[in-house]
Structure 1
Amino acid sequence: MGSVVIGEITVGYEDAGEQQEGRQNGDGGEPLVLIHGHPFDRSMWRPQIDHLSRAGRRVIAPDLRGYGESSVVPGITPLETFARDIAGLLDHLGIERCVLGGLSMGGQIVMECYRLFPERIRGVVLADTFAAPETDEGKAGRRAMAERLLREGMAGYAQEVLDKMIAPSTIEARPEVAAHVLGMMTGTPPEGAAAALRGRAERPDYRELLTRMSVPALVVVGTEDAYTPVSDARDLHRRIPDSTLEIIPEAAHMPNLEREDDFNAALSAFLTTLSTATAR
């Protein structure tokens, strides 16, 4: 665990694994950087950090501005701002190139990072996300939700969406996962969540960018995801020239927590493929 001042904010982050201080992984692969979704924090990646770091992979997971232990900046936070924060963290850690993964909003930040600095990205992981711009109705909805969170706080919203973030079967069978997800949502500062919602409402269209992506991609989705259904994942898979699609059963919007063994297996296989290609 650590923190660094990047520009005007402090960014909290986790840096785990045997290979640190800019050294390459023992398997020849680049570090993995994981970007959380809304309204969560870096602890959502705990199963992946633990699994991969034990295998010797360096894994970095930051808290986005407005979330977790990072600074809260009220107003509006465009995806470009999040992406430049990630670039600043890479600079601080001495990482020239990495594998970059994200879930939901985090996946859209990955796309923005690829738009801004593709030369620093060896491969991407896009989990439960989509590339299309926001509709007029969607923009209005995100702005209204931002105002609601500022007015009411996070608790009511978190209870309303819990059974969409994770499947009802997960809530029943794994109450500890439900408690973790609920705790992340209720612990998010409303000002940070509202700023991200406003920024996400204005996100660009990444669909054409994906057709020009020149690095391998892993696309992951839960079968029960109501926010970004399997059809969205298939669209990403179809657009990205070198992509693998992994559909995880009995999971909703957070398969990395709901079915971590399946998610970790798919992620590990993808990273091994990248490492093998690098060695060649």
Structure 2
Amino acid sequence: MKKTCQTNGIKLAYQEQGQGKAVVLLHGFCGSSVYWEYIIPKLAKDCRVIAPDLRGHGDSAVPVGTYSMELFAEDIKQLLDYLDISEATLLGHSLGGYVTLAFADKYPERLHAFGLIHSTGLPDTDEARQNRYKGVERIEQEGIEPFINDLIPKLFAKNNLQSMKDTVEKARQIGFATKPEGAQNTLKGMAERSNRNAVIANTSLPVLLVAGADDQVISPDKTFSVEQQLMMAKTLPHVGHMSMYEDPAQLSEVIHKFLHSKW
């Protein structure tokens, strides 16, 4: 059951479950907090888990204008304020990882630790940036469904597309529910994001990096683009860009180990 609040001038929807140290889970592009449906109950056994719908996604508002990673991060900061959470562990999937790094850059004092799941501190290449803007135009011309139909198969390991048809379809339906304007505004923000490898390299906080061995979107070398002492790095076998669906048991185990490590 999702709750809602007013934060940063917009309605933000979120899920909340469990008690203990706060863990915030940020979903990927054209996803929602539902992406974490198999992860939340496992972590909520001994943590307070917060999973918001990012602006433009799920049941959250779809305001006008480009959604910069800094703007997303401010939404999350104000959500933590609203929930009276002074310090949390922030874990972001894909787009959520970009937001996590923007948050860690601006509000490190609000974090106990942070992590990237199928994400990277690197900015878009020129080609990737151009493709973001082509996506904006395509959605404008064709609507969201053709865009999602092309996107979703790329998110799963090729071998999982057949064996996990129902799961792939679930991800497709979540994508279809994304408002076109929300997807377009987010594409613009992702295209404009800066290089934040230095945030990972220079932080004094523990960092989790998770990659999928068969990720067609963000390869492991892009996730593991930085090394530092307080880092847990894990490549999940037989997984693409969606380990929360492709192997939730293994992802939950990795996150649990990270959350309970003594640094």
Q: CA offsets per residue over residues 4-59 of structure 1, 9 Å max, x none?
A: 01132100000111x2xxxxx1xxxx210001110111100111111111x23110
CA contact (8 A) 2:197 2:225 kept: no
**Which moved further from structure 2: 69-78 or 102-111?**
69-78
What is residue 165 of structure 1 aligned with on the other side?
A: 155
CA contact (8 A) 1:75 1:194 kept: no
Separation in structure 2 between the aligned mates of residue 146 and residue 74 of structure 1, nearest angstrom: 14
Matched, 1:261 2:249: yes
Q: CA offsets per residue over residues 211-260 of structure 1, 9 Å max, x none?
A: 11111111101111011111112214x2x331111111111011121001
State the one-letter code of the partner of 1:51: K
State the one-letter code of the partner of 1:252: G
What is residue 17 of structure 2 aligned with on the other side?
A: 16
Residue identity over aligned pairs, in percent, reads 29
Which of residues 213, 236, 239 in structure 2 aligns to 1:248? 236
Q: What's the CA shift for 1:140?
A: 2.0
What is residue 51 of structure 2 aligned with on the other side?
A: 61
Separation in structure 2 between the aligned mates of residue 82 and residue 227 of structure 1, nearest angstrom: 21
Separation in structure 1 between the aligned mates of residue 36 and residue 79 of structure 2, nearest angstrom: 17
Residues 32-51 of structure 1 correspond to what in structure 2 (within 5 A)? Answer: 32-51=23-42
Task: Please state whether the residue corresponding to 2:25 is helix, strand or coil.
Answer: strand
Separation in structure 2 between the aligned mates of residue 137 and residue 230 of structure 1, nearest angstrom: 19
- Number of residues paired by the alignment? 262
What is residue 208 of structure 1 aligned with on the other side?
A: 198
User: Unaligned 5+ residue runs, structure 1?
Assistant: 20-24
Separation in structure 2 between the aligned mates of residue 255 and residue 221 of structure 1, nearest angstrom: 9
Residues 165-184 of structure 1 correspond to what in structure 2 (within 5 A)? Answer: 165-184=155-174
CA contact (8 A) 1:98 1:122 kept: yes
Which of residues 178, 184, 192 in structure 2 aligns to 1:194? 184
Separation in structure 2 between the aligned mates of residue 250 and residue 137 of structure 1, nearest angstrom: 27
What is residue 3 of structure 1 aligned with on the other side?
A: 4
State the one-letter code of the partner of 1:35: L
User: Unaligned 5+ residue runs, structure 2?
Assistant: none
Separation in structure 2 between the aligned mates of residue 207 and residue 233 of structure 1, nearest angstrom: 10
- TM-score, normalising length: structure 2: 0.96
